[in-house]
């Protein structure tokens, strides 16, 4: 599949830096992220994991990094944007 045929799951934000879901696949990935973070919080709270903060934050860092990687691979090019400026 060439770059022209690549389906964009995440669109680049109009202002700032980042992406937002643009297709059902993007929404599914985003929902999966929220579910995983919620389940991690529940597991760490219920089972009283030792070194809670360090282990939980490390887990969140890994899951968030995975989301960013998926957005990068399946989304538009990310760059800082100031909206649609009118060119003079």
Alpha carbons 53 and 66: distance in angstroms, whole number: 20
**44 has pLDDT over 70:** yes
pTM of the full predicted structure? Answer: 0.80
Contacts of 8 (CB under 8 A, 6+ apart): 22, 23, 74, 75, 76
Collapsed DSSP state (helix, strand, coil) of residue 32: helix
What is the mean predicted confidence (pLDDT) over 11-20? 90
């Amino acid at each position: 599949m060439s770059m022209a045929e690549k389906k964009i799951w995440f669109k680049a934000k109009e202002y700032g830096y980042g992406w937002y879901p643009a297709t059902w696949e993007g929404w599914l990935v985003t929902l999966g992220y929220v579910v995983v973070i919620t389940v991690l919080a529940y597991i760490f709270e219920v089972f009283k994991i030792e070194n809670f903060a360090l282990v939980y934050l490390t887990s969140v860092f890994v899951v968030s990094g995975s989301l960013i990687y998926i957005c990068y691979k399946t989304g538009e090019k990310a760059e800082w944007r100031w909206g649609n400026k009118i060119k003079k």
